[in-house]
Amino acid sequence: MSNPFADSHAAERMDSNPFADPAVQAGLSSHQHEDYGASPTPQSAYEAASAPANDNVQARLEDLQRRERELAARESALTAKQEHIRKHGRNNWPPGPFPLLFHSIEDEIPQAHQATVLTLYRIWMFLVLTLIINLVGAVLLLVSGSSNGGAGIMYAPVITVLSFLLWYRPVYNAYAKEYSFFYYIFFLFGGFHLAFCAYMFVGVPSSGSAGLINLISRFANGSIVAGVFCVLATVGWALEFLAFLWMYKNVWSHSHGEQGHTLAQAKQEIQMYGLKAYLFKAHSMPASANQTAQV
């Protein structure tokens, strides 16, 4: 018996349009949903591509912020250290009952440059030792009949003081503060020091040097003891010249290469702080931006 409620035109429509079948329509709908789930929309694809870029920018921002925090902490530590030295640092050099100034490589020089300044200090002390040997040699030259020793006696006290004030103390302050003026003072008088060492090595008669020429003359005259001290003095002047020349080049490379100090900057610093502040109150001057960034 036929169904009176059936659509009499359904079979006709199915014959003309096979996709009108409800089962086929359900299958197509399901397939479309699967395709949409498998293929991302343009917006989701853009978000997926931009996610790594955003992560990279965020990482760089966090790294920059970390560097800024480290720099601020180092600058704060440097300021506190300088303030402590200013308030509590007492004159401790030269050792003895009457120290004239405060000298502490560990406290005043950034750790990265402490080895350099310590080497320069040892070169200065070796200079003092060489001056003492030269003094003894000058005295022995006088005793052996030479007229060469008078000036040599004066070299020991005079050059000791001048070398400390004119090239060691400036390079000490240069590394402590990173100011151009101190570097140029060191380069100027350091050049004179190199010339002086070469002059003393030669040992020109009547120059006050127990150097090479006087060494040869003393052995030729049979003055063995004076000749031995002349040998020691000659070797001392040679070593002093070579060691100082090496450190002179290192300081020059640091000043002009790493830090970029110029003579124009030195002039500006003098105008800003005054010559008196540089020579007598260097410990109380603020550190330069270059030095703060390194500590």
pLDDT of the residue at 149: 60
Query: How many Å apart are CA 233 and CA 203, to the nearest integer?
Result: 9
pLDDT of the residue at 292: 44
The residue written with tokens 């694809």 in the block is 45
Measured CA distances, 132 to 38, 122, 205, 280 (Å): 91, 15, 19, 28
The residue ranges of every structural domain in the chain are 14-71, 110-294
Measured CA distances, 64 to 69, 73, 169, 228, 295 (Å): 9, 14, 37, 63, 18
> Which tokens hold the place of 251?
């300081």
**Side chain identity, residue 159:** I
Query: How many Å apart are CA 224 and CA 228, to the nearest integer?
Result: 6
Mean pLDDT, consecutive 10-residue stretches, the chain (295 aa), reads 50 50 54 48 56 75 85 77 64 83 89 95 97 92 74 89 94 90 93 96 88 89 88 97 97 84 81 62 52 46
